[in-house]
């Protein structure tokens, strides 16, 4: 009988819905840090590595783990900080939790649209200072019926489109590199597919929902910002490096952009002081990468990820694989590579 309890190294705290499963099935160890040296020191012999957004999970980390490492579980969606090719090369399965936090991120984007449109931030600040008469200082606007451009019409982008159309009768348009079946756009009021330039030039709200990769890094830059309407509110709840923050600050200063809302930053944690956007309140709303920090999302992410990590450790197929190391290895064998 195999009595080996798998060693699971976690770089993150998470909801008990997932931690409990991992603790029950394995020998769960919490890392003492996220920097490369700490991870490399603590990972040797681990069968599984559990991560969130912190830590750069590259080939060196995988090599430090040694051949025992079978699975990396990403609590969340973006996996731009994991070297997927290196994992596949080493036969390591990577799993993640697509869809586990889509409601929370879509609601976060909607909240930012409302807060910026109604000048919540400066009016709350004014009231705090005792300035009740600031009530007539800003002219807010309603979002009903306005145009919303969604860049990246995947799980979160589609859900945002549905809420915007169904709750606010917004005119939804999107751009994506994938073809969308008609049923995928119906719940968002038959969202119109447009090219990026059209979306930039015609949207009163633009919301970013792409993964971070070479096609999306600095997608919003001086050149693309120059195409945006001056009454546009731009939202970034996907990944910080998709936006050139300095270019956004310039556009706001020159009234070429109405407002900016973000949950993510080019560098995380962002430098304070010294960040070009943090500290502005009139037309900026910023949150500390906590769009998915809701009870529902935290339970889903922890539980789905833990279940998949355990599936892999038990030799089963994961529900949410990022890569397919077995298929790659089989294809290599067939080709005699």
Residue 74 interacts with ligand NAD (CB under 6 A): yes or no: no
- The closest of 30, 218, 256, 232 to 113, measured between CA atoms, is 232
Candidate ranges 25-33, 131-139, 232-240, 298-306; the one touching ligand NAD (CB under 6 A)? 232-240
Residue 151 interacts with ligand NAD (CB under 6 A): yes or no: yes
187 is a catalytic site residue = no
- H or E stretch covering 205: strand 205-208
Candidate ranges 141-149, 212-220, 277-285, 301-309; the one touching ligand NAD (CB under 6 A)? 212-220
C-alpha to C-alpha distance for 133 and 310, rounded to whole angstroms: 59
Residue 105 interacts with ligand NAD (CB under 6 A): yes or no: yes
C-alpha to C-alpha distance for 235 and 27, rounded to whole angstroms: 41
Q: Which residues of 196-214 are buried (b: 16+ CB within 10 A; e: fewer)?
A: eeebbebbbbbbbbbebee
Rg (CA), the chain: 22
Nearest-approach distance from CB 57 to ligand NAD, in angstroms: 15
Nearest-approach distance from CB 99 to ligand NAD, in angstroms: 7
Which residues neighbour 223 within 8 Å (Cβ) at sequence distance 6 or greater? none
Nearest-approach distance from CB 170 to ligand NAD, in angstroms: 18
Give the residue at shortest CB distance from ligand NAD. 154
111 φ/ψ angles, rounded to the nearest 5 degrees: -60, -40
268 is a catalytic site residue = yes
Residue 263 interacts with ligand NAD (CB under 6 A): yes or no: yes
Cβ distance to ligand NAD smaller for residue 125 or 176: 176
Residue 155 interacts with ligand NAD (CB under 6 A): yes or no: yes
- The interface mask with ligand NAD, positions 108-127, x = CB under 6 A, is --------------------
239 is a catalytic site residue = yes
The catalytic residue among 75, 108, 146, 239 is 239
Residue 78 interacts with ligand NAD (CB under 6 A): yes or no: yes
Q: How many helices (H) and strands (E) does the chain have?
A: 13, 12
11 φ/ψ angles, rounded to the nearest 5 degrees: -90, 0
Q: Is 67 exposed, middle or buried (0-12, 13-18, 19+ CB in 10 A)?
A: exposed
Q: How far is CA 17 from CA 71, 72, 190, 198, in A?
A: 19, 18, 37, 44
Nearest-approach distance from CB 72 to ligand NAD, in angstroms: 16
Cβ distance to ligand NAD smaller for residue 42 or 308: 308
Overall residue count recorded for the chain in this entry: 337
Residue 210 interacts with ligand NAD (CB under 6 A): yes or no: yes
Residue 203 interacts with ligand NAD (CB under 6 A): yes or no: no
Residues recognised as catalytic:
239, 268, 289
| Binding positions for ligand NAD, rule: CB under 6 A | 76-78, 98, 101-102, 105, 151-157, 175-178, 209-212, 215-216, 237-239, 263-264, 289, 291-292
């Amino acid at each position: 009988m195999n009595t080996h309890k798998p060693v699971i190294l976690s770089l993150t705290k998470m909801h008990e819905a997932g931690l409990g499963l991992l603790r029950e099935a394995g020998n769960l160890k919490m890392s003492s840090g996220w920097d490369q040296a700490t991870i490399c020191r603590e990972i040797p012999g681990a069968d599984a590595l559990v991560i969130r957004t912190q830590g750069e999970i590259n080939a060196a980390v995988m090599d430090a783990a040694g051949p025992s490492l079978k699975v990396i579980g990403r609590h969340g969606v973006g996996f731009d900080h994991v070297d997927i090719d290196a994992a596949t090369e080493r036969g390591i399965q990577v799993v993640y939790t697509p869809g586990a936090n889509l409601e929370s991120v879509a609601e976060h984007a909607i909240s930012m649209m409302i807060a910026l449109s109604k000048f919540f931030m400066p009016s709350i600040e004014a009231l705090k200072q005792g300035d009740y008469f600031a009530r007539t200082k800003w002219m807010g606007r309603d979002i009903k019926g306005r145009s919303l451009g969604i860049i990246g019409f995947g799980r979160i982008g589609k859900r945002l489109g549905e809420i915007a159309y169904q709750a606010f009768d917004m005119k939804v348009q999107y751009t994506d590199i994938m073809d969308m079946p008609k049923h995928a756009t119906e719940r968002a009021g038959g969202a119109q597919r447009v090219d990026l330039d059209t979306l930039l030039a015609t949207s009163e709200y633009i919301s970013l929902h792409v993964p971070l990769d070479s096609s999306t890094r600095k997608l919003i830059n001086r050149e693309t910002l120059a195409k945006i309407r001056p009454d546009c509110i731009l939202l970034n709840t996907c990944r910080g490096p998709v936006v050139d923050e300095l270019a956004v600050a310039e556009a706001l200063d020159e009234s070429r952009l109405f407002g900016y809302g973000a949950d993510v930053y080019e560098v995380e944690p962002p430098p304070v002081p010294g960040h070009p956007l943090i500290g502005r309140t009139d037309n900026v709303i910023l949150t500390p990468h906590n769009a998915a920090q809701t009870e529902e999302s935290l339970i889903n992410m922890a539980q789905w990820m833990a279940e998949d990590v355990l599936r892999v450790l038990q030799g089963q197929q994961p529900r949410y694989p990022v890569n397919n190391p077995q298929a790659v290895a089989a294809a290599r064998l067939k080709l005699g590579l």
